Amino acid sequence: MPHAASSRGRSWTARDDRQRSERCWPSRAQEKPVSEGLRSNRPSGANALIAVLVAVVLASTACSRLSFVKPKLARSGMDRKAPEVRMTPDSYDSPAAKSRVLIQQGQVALSQGDLAGAAKAADQAVRMAPDNASAHTLAALVAERRGDSAAAGKHYRRAIDLEPRQGSFANNYGTWLCASGRAQESLEWFDRALADPGYRTPAIAMANSGACAADAGQDAHSERYLTGALELDPENPVALGAMAERTFRAGDAFRARAFSQRRLAAAPADRRSLVLASQIEEKLGDKEAADRYVQRVGAEFPAVPGSGNGEIGK
């Protein structure tokens, strides 16, 4: 299982991603500013979207890549990465430069809940720079928010075709595959993400791989990758949620409670994690605690039908 420098990628933060990279690609945007992150296999409530702080850095002789990391967007606990915007010393009037500005505008709009504004920016960015992988990533994120999974998949696939060695794009496509019921197929893409030596958030791809491996019935793979993800990031909510589910299914309710409590402390709750917490407390005989979680489900996700087994996982 590939290892890389530990990093966290759940909150919306702007940071210089691989400033000293030996590669210097043209513009782009991807890595949780608007999506990796994260992940939701089955649609769920709202995965906390925190305000995005967009920082634009222009380098005179070299280019730098800015990564914006966001929580999840699929299955109940998976992470996608939003577009990474690579700044290059090209003309401000060039299509590449204009597309970067549009991508940043779209990211901000999406983080503020302005889906129409984000869609407009994404469409313009793709038309202006059809070979910009970050523009396709933004378009995919918008499509997902609109419930158009097929369109999202096409854009995620186009992004990885354009940047086949970029880890965050591979993670995003794998996350979409898993959320679309293709868990076994998704595992290859998470491994491709981890094979990128410049991929700065390996815990995300490892957690996603472990969660999807569980869906694919590969228990050994699941445990290995989830354990590895927690070694890199002990507060990774995807890995914690998946471990809570694994241990609960195995009949170890006490360990499941510990993972569940850590999951709820690590990131805003989704419906799936609250339903699991109520089931764990019910199993342990604490009906009062179980009822409190059930009440939270009704209060925080009143419009979400079903048992809570949907949502999240870039």
Length of the chain: 314
CA distance 199 to 290: 40
CA distance 314 to 308: 19
CB 9, CB 79: distance < 8 Å: yes
Where along the chain do its domains lie? 13-234
- Tens of pLDDT, residue by residue over 48-87, are 332 322 332 223 333 322 233 333 434 445 666 656 555 5
- Tens of pLDDT, residue by residue over 242-297, are 999 999 999 999 999 999 999 999 999 999 999 999 999 999 999 999 999 999 99
CA distance 161 to 133: 8
Please name the CATH architecture into which domain 13-234 falls. Answer: Alpha Horseshoe (1.25)
Buried b (16+ CB within 10 A) or exposed e, 71-108: bbbbbbbbbbbbbbbbbbeeeeeebbbbbbbbbbbbbb
- Tens of pLDDT, residue by residue over 85-143, are 555 555 567 888 999 999 999 999 999 999 999 999 999 999 999 999 999 999 999 99
Which residues touch 204 (CB under 8 Å, ≥6 apart)?
A: 9, 36, 37, 38, 79, 81, 171, 229, 236, 238, 314
**Is this structure's pTM higher than 0.95?**
no
